[in-house]
Amino acid sequence: MSPNRTIRSSVNVLVAAALLSFGVLITILSARMPLVGSGEIGPGMLPTLLASAIVLFSLLNCLLEVRASLGGGKGKDAETEGGDGKSSTAWLLFALFAAYVYITKWTGLFLSTLMFCTPVILIHKRMKWYKALAVSFAIAACTAIVFSVVFNLGLPEGPFGF
């Protein structure tokens, strides 16, 4: 393993550990706020979702970096040595999730879930785009039905009313 890769791996693990600590802190602080109140999403729902995503993606990044440094992975840097790019995939997923949370209030839950799930499925499953779009449509529909019918929550609506 090159010294450049070792330094980059250490920095990635430290950043992931810092984000993990930050996510746990947000979870602890948002536990005092109600998640659901009077048929609408409460003030504690968004911080809890963001903290969950931060914890999930930082654990994923940390795990991939440690695995690569122990020799379980390819142990190569994707940009310089032709590695598998798993760490960059974890950061890409985190960026997609951050964009998903940000655009939900303008596009609505259904469209933003559809726009989030399609690239995630294409990244991980390597299936045809129309199959990924169909699976994303099913996930978005199920999510909207569960939150609006089962939990009876008022969801963010997009420009088309869904």
Judged by phi (left if over 0) then psi (alpha if -120 to 50, else beta), residue 71 lies in left
Rounded to whole angstroms, the Cα distance separating 52 from 50 reads 5
Q: For position 47, what pLDDT does the model report?
A: 67
Return the pLDDT at 3.
56
Q: In sequence order, which ranges of 43-160 are alpha helices (DSSP H)?
A: 45-70, 86-125, 129-145
Domain termination site, one of 31, 64, 84: 84
pLDDT of 75: 45
100 and 69 in a common domain: no
The answer on 96 and 77 residing in a single domain is no
Residues 72 and 112 both lie in one domain:
no
CA 141 to chain centre: 19
Whether residues 120 and 61 fall in one domain: no
- 128-152 pLDDT, tens digit each: 888 888 988 988 888 788 777 776 7
The reply to whether 6 and 79 lie within a common domain is yes
Whether residues 50 and 119 fall in one domain: no
Stronger pLDDT, 33 or 83, i.e. the higher one? 33
Instruction: Pick the more confident residue, 109 or 27.
Output: 109
Whether pTM > 0.85 for this model: the answer is no
Q: Does residue 76 share a domain with residue 118?
A: no
The mean of the pLDDT values for the chain is 71
Q: Is 38 exposed, middle or buried (0-12, 13-18, 19+ CB in 10 A)?
A: exposed
pLDDT computed for residue 17 by the predictor: 73
Nearest to 137 by CA among 117, 160, 162, 120: 117
Same domain, 73 and 96: no
pLDDT class for 37, splitting at 50, 70, 90?
low
Angle between helices 45-70 and 86-125 (to 10 degrees): 110
Per-residue pLDDT, 144: 81
Q: Do 67 and 124 lie in a common domain?
A: no
The span from the CA of 79 to the CA of 87, in Å, is: 11
Question: Same structural domain for residues 8 and 60?
Answer: yes
Task: Please name the residue that has the structure tokens 């190569």.
Answer: 76
Looking at residue 45, its pLDDT comes to: 65
CA atoms within 13 A on the CB side of 127: 14
Same domain, 134 and 113: yes
Look up the domain containing 48 and give its range.
1-84
Q: What is the pLDDT of residues 100-111, one digit of tens each?
A: 878 887 888 888
Between 65 and 143, name the one with better pLDDT: 143
Where is the domain boundary, 61, 84, 107? Answer: 84
Same domain, 103 and 157: yes
Q: Which residues pair with 91 in a beta bridge?
A: none
User: What does the pLDDT read at residue 80?
Assistant: 47
Count of domains observed in the chain: 2
- 3-class secondary-structure state, position 13: helix
Average pLDDT over residues 54-68: 69
